[in-house]
Amino acid sequence: MHKFPIRKEAIIVPTILIGAIWFIFLIQSLIAFKECYGIIPLNIRGLRGIILAPLFHGNLTHILSNTVPLFVLTFFTFQFYERLAYFVLLNGWLISGFVVWLLPNFSIMDSSILSCHIGASGIIYVLASFLFFSGIFRYEKTLMAVSLIVVFFYGSMVWGIFPREFFGIYDERHISWESHLSGAATGFILAYMLRKFGKKRQKPHWEKKEYDQSEDEILWEIYQMEYPEYFHDKDSSESNPTSETKKGNDLHKVDENDSLKNQEQL
């Protein structure tokens, strides 16, 4: 059974992230912010939200729903992709936020209202998408197991990339599906771009292009010459009849002799 020692970064980084968003939420609870520190699409003032938006949350339910998946997915990223984890987290944070800033307001309810996107769900979608697709692209058993775990626990997140109006839900709950969609797309792109870096499945030599079967045949002959005792019994059993066959033949001869004696007596 393989044991995976837990890396320090896999605990420290998620803890810092969770601590940061809860610290900001505490400040939000004590001080009523009049400005939007999130992403305002196509607005210069909204560019600061690319960095700040994941740290702000609308209410207690919002931050609670993001806390556990953010910790778990960040842990998986730093545990199994230690060489790529910082690159994925930082670039996923910036790229997904910038994509949201480029998208206009698609709200069916009222497209004239400026959107202010906040919350860490975009980062969550980046990490979930990266972990899932990276395991598939690399085709390595440990990373594929991580992909299956992500699907099992967070597979239902896929519905979050669509606007609620798409399912005929018209209410005042403003869920940033744009952040979810941009995060999922960013995670997929990062997984594809980085598929050749870090841990991946090692091909056996017979799957490689330079594989020459004659080399294996020579090695097999050498092995037979060095360890003939492993093949002696097999060769002798093939060349000589088995003991059971000999017994059968002996019994057959006895039966024939008995029948001849009986005929002579008659």
* pLDDT at residue 238 is higher than 80: no
242, pLDDT greater than 60: no
Residue 229 has what pLDDT?
72
* Portion of the chain with pLDDT greater than 90, in percent: 55
Give the pLDDT score at 105: 76
* Predicted confidence band of residue 35 (pLDDT cuts 50, 70, 90): confident
Confidence of residue 104 (pLDDT cuts 50, 70, 90): confident
Question: Phi then psi for 81, rounded to 5 degrees?
Answer: -130, 55
Whole-angstrom distance between the N-terminal and C-terminal Cα of the chain? 76
The predicted structure's pLDDT at residue 183: 97
Side chain identity at residue 57, one-letter code? H
Which pLDDT band holds residue 169 (cuts at 50, 70, 90)? low
pTM tops 0.75, yes or no: no
Q: Where do the structural domains in the chain lie, given as residue ranges? A: 8-193, 211-265
For the cut 80, the answer to whether the pLDDT of residue 113 exceeds it is no
Rounded distance, CA 57 to CA 100, Å? 17
pLDDT grade for 249, boundaries at 50, 70 and 90: low
In CATH, what class is 8-193? mainly alpha
- The span from the CA of 66 to the CA of 22, in Å, is 11
pLDDT of residue 195 exceeding 70, the answer is yes
Please tell me the predicted confidence (pLDDT) of residue 114.
Answer: 74
- Residues paired with residue 117 on neighbouring β-strands, in sequence order: 39
Instruction: Collect all residues with Cβ–Cβ distance below 8 Å to 44 and sequence separation of at least 6.
Output: none
